[in-house]
A and B are shown apart, each in its own frame.
Chain A
């Protein structure tokens, strides 16, 4: 009996020893594998990311991009990331300087008249291959953007140039464009109709020059890679690893050698995750990062220097005005307008400094006749008034012949700021009006597609300015504007938009914008939410970073490093 037990014991201990050996082998094997993998990943990963955010020795600044630049062909670029990158490496006729004033770019002098403009190009403006920038480069770029075959989304910004719209519609040949290279250094522009803000327009990336022979030599791949763009700005893209990093070096051919102070700007990371970039900033891997509301306490505790700036964008709920949609009903929209209070949204829900409660489509920074537009034309946006809101709701139900308004679909973006807003509005309308909202979260592209096809009742939308004039917002709800996603159609509003477009007298133009603002509020075309501000932190050794609402943002082309 006892011998059996002994043999049993020895068997158990032998099995145990075997198991122990196996476990030790497995653990050491996994450890080796991990070490090998981390070694391999360090070789393939961002090789440039090992330095500090600011390096005074090599005069290098390391920052991040929010996303891979989707389009570096300046005739087709539409988004802010591409705009920011292009602003460092390409220069238009005019540009915004570090104080956000119009400054000479490739043009050394210019003359803008009511019917046209003349630009005199500087002699020492050079492309990055050493050849001069000529007037024909601008003519070619503008023709390319307007060419219907290229289907540039921002072609409309060139419509003020004579025949631009007709060329884009394919009714006239490209050569009929009202922009002519008189000689290599003189560009003569004719306007379609009198225009007061052409100097601001030419700073936009669609107006950047493109050289004809180079564009044709890359055979449709212009802007697709670092060596498939020609540069004439203060920097050139020296290395572009798609989806991972982008590196810029000072351009030796740039006409003003004093402008760029940095040798290298290294966009070493591409991430849209605010927490990821915050961690990179903490580790001194990048020189600036944007803060979210939940990071503010952390930033204060770390005693960072926090900055804010208004990025110029206005965000609002846009209604779908297409026939057959309940939101086409004036009283329903009015009820929703009177049930909301944007101050509550901004101060208690989004909680970011720099956000302003929205009252109008026209943001506070737009200039009017003498001072600010909104001071001369106050929005007088109605405050929350639940009694009146419910009266409007009753009227809406009568007009629509409904006892209960069925659930409405609120199309929203899939990001933290949109999510919290969507849920806030969902509860506000349920609590105050008994309206049910279904939240349709979509990623940016999908949301845009649904907005285009009109597959929504309400949508959390926004608009950023393209140029520094109220018209960049003012024509948004004109019946012909494709960016009027809710297809709002009001002849009276259209009439005022035409006035704002054609009128030369500043007072009359601003009056027209005042009327547009009044109609938008009285008819509750949109529910303004907020004017966006950006809260960010910077490395104290980096100076001269420029943030701007209109133009390339962020702009490091004037930045420098202090020891």
Chain B
């Protein structure tokens, strides 16, 4: 029988190996972890930069691009981006009575240098003609007699001059002259090709701020018209400035409305979910009722109720209508989450340890629903931007001359075929913004999903 030999050393605490307790990587909070995962998602990160760039575009942009978005320039209407902009200085326009001495030459010819201000035509009287018609086309006249725009019908054999001032832009025009006798028979047909140059008077150059004083330039000098990097719209307003200012309205609605209604939705939903029972039923049935209210109708009602008169901006009633009618979706989502979290073991444990309701909500429930809330918020932004664009498109939003992307689309769509840039730019901005917010929302959902936390 062997005696159990116990030494003193046997009663010493076991030596703990420090290595076991040392952590393999630093402790990460929920947010740090989410941020790492978001950073790994290049799509979402790119969208985040896009959103920041858009905010800079609208908030900082106007500081650098100081063109008035409402300033019209009727000499530069519907200009495409980066159009040539050299203009020759001429003396101010003088009305022309056509009685000046006929310039030498034969047939239909020019009486003066053709400019974007006026093209002056003269022709020799055609024997027996009692009326003349002048046409102008952008395309060469052929045998099919497609003469283009009928500019004027002149009666009387003595009328052998015509001044064309209609919407002249620097390009080649093909003029045609038809002579008729009293019975309406065609007697003569002449054509003339005219190269029009852009001109500007010294006074209007000063007015546009291109030169300091009229004396700075001589007649015949070439100066550059104001630069419009993205072109101009149908009233000669700068597209870039309008896009910057339009973004304010779009992004204001796009960010303010979701922020307000998501906030309300969270409070409402968590109250319903936390209290539960009859109160929950009552609150959620009221939410169902709000879902059933038609948005457009309420938007119009608010517009009237707030006394928004004609020609005033409808942005405020739009905001109110959005906030009052869009919260139920968020509140349902949050309520569902809260109901689920309420059953969790750690909540019960916390409650047994004596946690008050307020502590439970603030410490456990809201942080655990934060992911859902943030994702809802980022998805709500593009939908609100869309709503604003749509309402401005149908004329319910901003009042002219305030631009918004939606109202710019509405104006651009009318000239979609001839000057597509007026539609493409605002439409592109809406699309990019909506896409950026959607992708960012996608990335956030992945990043904030607690179940993906352990996944590398």
A300 & B138 in contact (Cβ 8 Å cutoff)? yes
Proximity bits, A396-428, B CB within 8 Å = 1, else 0: 000000000001011100101000101110111
Which residues 282-304 of A have a CB within 8 angstroms of B? Answer: 292-298, 300-301, 303-304
CA distance A428 to B400 in the complex (A): 13
Q: Kindly list chain A residues whose C-beta atoms are within 8 Å of the C-beta of B165.
A: 343, 347
B309 & A438 in contact (Cβ 8 Å cutoff)? yes
Min CB distance A445 to B, Å, is: 15
A426 & B415 in contact (Cβ 8 Å cutoff)? no
A307 & B150 in contact (Cβ 8 Å cutoff)? yes
Q: Kindly list chain A residues whose C-beta atoms are within 8 Å of the C-beta of B147.
A: 305-306
Is B300 an interface residue when CB atoms closer than 8 A count as contact? no
A294 & B417 in contact (Cβ 8 Å cutoff)? yes
A424 & B72 in contact (Cβ 8 Å cutoff)? yes
B149 & A535 in contact (Cβ 8 Å cutoff)? yes
Among A347, A411, A440, A442, point to the contact of B167 (Cβ < 8 A).
A347
Q: Kindly list chain B residues whose C-beta atoms are within 8 Å of the C-beta of A423.
A: 235, 400-401
A353 & B144 in contact (Cβ 8 Å cutoff)? no
Among A293, A306, A422, point to the contact of B150 (Cβ < 8 A).
A306
Which residues 210-242 of B have a CB within 8 angstroms of A? Answer: 234-235
Known pairs A306-B149, A427-B70; A347 contacts B166 (CB<8 A) = yes
Q: Which residue of A lies closest to B236 (CB)?
A: A348
A353 & B151 in contact (Cβ 8 Å cutoff)? yes
A439 & B311 in contact (Cβ 8 Å cutoff)? yes
Among A304, A351, A426, point to the contact of B401 (Cβ < 8 A).
A426
Known pairs A420-B234, A426-B401, A440-B311; A300 contacts B148 (CB<8 A) = yes
CA distance A297 to B136 in the complex (A): 11
A349 & B310 in contact (Cβ 8 Å cutoff)? no
Among B71, B167, B310, B395, point to the contact of A431 (Cβ < 8 A).
B71
Q: Kindly list chain A residues whose C-beta atoms are within 8 Å of the C-beta of B312.
A: 438
Which residues 267-295 of A have a CB within 8 angstroms of B? Answer: 292-295
Min CB distance A407 to B, Å, is: 8
CA distance A441 to B397 in the complex (A): 13
CA distance A276 to B72 in the complex (A): 30
Which residues 324-377 of A have a CB within 8 angstroms of B? Answer: 343-344, 346-349, 351, 353-354
A308 & B150 in contact (Cβ 8 Å cutoff)? yes
CA distance A171 to B138 in the complex (A): 63
CA distance A303 to B142 in the complex (A): 9
Min CB distance A217 to B, Å, is: 45
Is B74 an interface residue when CB atoms closer than 8 A count as contact? yes
Among A305, A344, A348, A442, point to the contact of B145 (Cβ < 8 A).
A305
Is B414 an interface residue when CB atoms closer than 8 A count as contact? yes
Q: Kindly list chain A residues whose C-beta atoms are within 8 Å of the C-beta of B151.
A: 353
CA distance A118 to B99 in the complex (A): 49
Among A306, A344, A438, A442, point to the contact of B148 (Cβ < 8 A).
A306
Q: Which of B147, B149, B419 has the most CB of A within 10 A?
A: B149
Q: Which residue of B lies closest to A291 (CB)?
A: B149
CA distance A268 to B162 in the complex (A): 40
Is A113 an interface residue when CB atoms closer than 8 A count as contact? no
Is A543 an interface residue when CB atoms closer than 8 A count as contact? no
A297 & B146 in contact (Cβ 8 Å cutoff)? no
Min CB distance B227 to A, Å, is: 20
Among B146, B234, B310, B311, point to the contact of A303 (Cβ < 8 A).
B146
Min CB distance B156 to A, Å, is: 10
Q: Which residue of B lies closest to A437 (CB)?
A: B311
Is A430 an interface residue when CB atoms closer than 8 A count as contact? yes
Proximity bits, B132-163, A CB within 8 Å = 1, else 0: 00000111001011111111000000000000
Is B181 an interface residue when CB atoms closer than 8 A count as contact? no
- Tally of chain B residues near chain A (CB < 8 A): 36
Is B33 an interface residue when CB atoms closer than 8 A count as contact? no
Q: Which residue of A lies closest to B116 (CB)?
A: A348
Among B72, B77, B395, B417, point to the contact of A441 (Cβ < 8 A).
B395
Q: Which residue of A lies closest to B135 (CB)?
A: A306
B311 & A351 in contact (Cβ 8 Å cutoff)? no
CA distance A294 to B142 in the complex (A): 23
B418 & A294 in contact (Cβ 8 Å cutoff)? yes
Proximity bits, A442-462, B CB within 8 Å = 1, else 0: 100000000000000000000
Q: Kindly list chain B residues whose C-beta atoms are within 8 Å of the C-beta of A407.
A: 311
Known pairs A294-B417, A300-B137; A427 contacts B310 (CB<8 A) = no
Q: Which residue of B lies closest to A427 (CB)?
A: B72
Min CB distance B11 to A, Å, is: 45
Q: Kindly list chain A residues whose C-beta atoms are within 8 Å of the C-beta of B139.
A: 300-301, 303
Q: Kindly list chain B residues whose C-beta atoms are within 8 Å of the C-beta of A344.
A: 74
CA distance A420 to B149 in the complex (A): 21
A348 & B400 in contact (Cβ 8 Å cutoff)? no
Known pairs A294-B415, A409-B311, A438-B312; A303 contacts B401 (CB<8 A) = no
Q: Which residue of A lies closest to B137 (CB)?
A: A300
Is B280 an interface residue when CB atoms closer than 8 A count as contact? no
Q: Kindly list chain A residues whose C-beta atoms are within 8 Å of the C-beta of B234.
A: 420
CA distance A111 to B319 in the complex (A): 70
Min CB distance A386 to B, Å, is: 10
Which residues 110-147 of B have a CB within 8 angstroms of A? Answer: 137-139, 142, 144-147
CA distance A426 to B165 in the complex (A): 23
Q: Which residue of B lies closest to A347 (CB)?
A: B165
Q: Kindly list chain B residues whose C-beta atoms are within 8 Å of the C-beta of A347.
A: 165-167
Q: Kindly list chain B residues whose C-beta atoms are within 8 Å of the C-beta of A411.
A: 310
Min CB distance B450 to A, Å, is: 23
Which residues 456-509 of A have a CB within 8 angstroms of B? Answer: none
Q: Kindly list chain A residues whose C-beta atoms are within 8 Å of the C-beta of B149.
A: 296, 300, 306, 308, 353, 535
CA distance A305 to B147 in the complex (A): 7
Which residues 290-320 of B have a CB within 8 angstroms of A? Answer: 309-312
Q: Kindly list chain B residues whose C-beta atoms are within 8 Å of the C-beta of A298.
A: 417-418
Q: Which residue of A lies closest to B184 (CB)?
A: A99
Q: Which residue of A lies closest to B76 (CB)?
A: A348
A304 & B146 in contact (Cβ 8 Å cutoff)? yes
B74 & A300 in contact (Cβ 8 Å cutoff)? no
Q: Kindly list chain B residues whose C-beta atoms are within 8 Å of the C-beta of A420.
A: 234-235
A353 & B150 in contact (Cβ 8 Å cutoff)? yes
Q: Kindly list chain A residues whose C-beta atoms are within 8 Å of the C-beta of B192.
A: none
Q: Which residue of B lies closest to A304 (CB)?
A: B146
Min CB distance B219 to A, Å, is: 22
Q: Kindly list chain A residues whose C-beta atoms are within 8 Å of the C-beta of B235.
A: 349, 420, 423-424, 427
Min CB distance A243 to B, Å, is: 23
Among B137, B310, B414, point to the contact of A294 (Cβ < 8 A).
B414
CA distance A295 to B137 in the complex (A): 13
Min CB distance B118 to A, Å, is: 9
Which residues 145-200 of B have a CB within 8 angstroms of A? Answer: 145-151, 165-167
Min CB distance A416 to B, Å, is: 6
B74 & A349 in contact (Cβ 8 Å cutoff)? yes
Is B449 an interface residue when CB atoms closer than 8 A count as contact? no
CA distance A220 to B235 in the complex (A): 50
Q: Which residue of B lies closest to A410 (CB)?
A: B311
Q: Kindly list chain A residues whose C-beta atoms are within 8 Å of the C-beta of B415.
A: 294
A-B contact pairs, 13 of them (CB 8 A): A297-B418, A300-B137, A300-B149, A303-B139, A307-B150, A343-B165, A414-B395, A423-B401, A427-B72, A428-B72, A437-B311, A438-B310, A535-B150
Name the 3 nearest CB pairs between A and B, nearest first.
A438-B311, A440-B310, A303-B146
- If A349-B74, A353-B151 are given as contacts, then 10 extra A-B residue pairs at C-beta distance below 8 Å, sorted by A number, are A295-B417, A300-B149, A303-B144, A308-B149, A347-B167, A348-B75, A353-B150, A423-B235, A427-B401, A441-B310
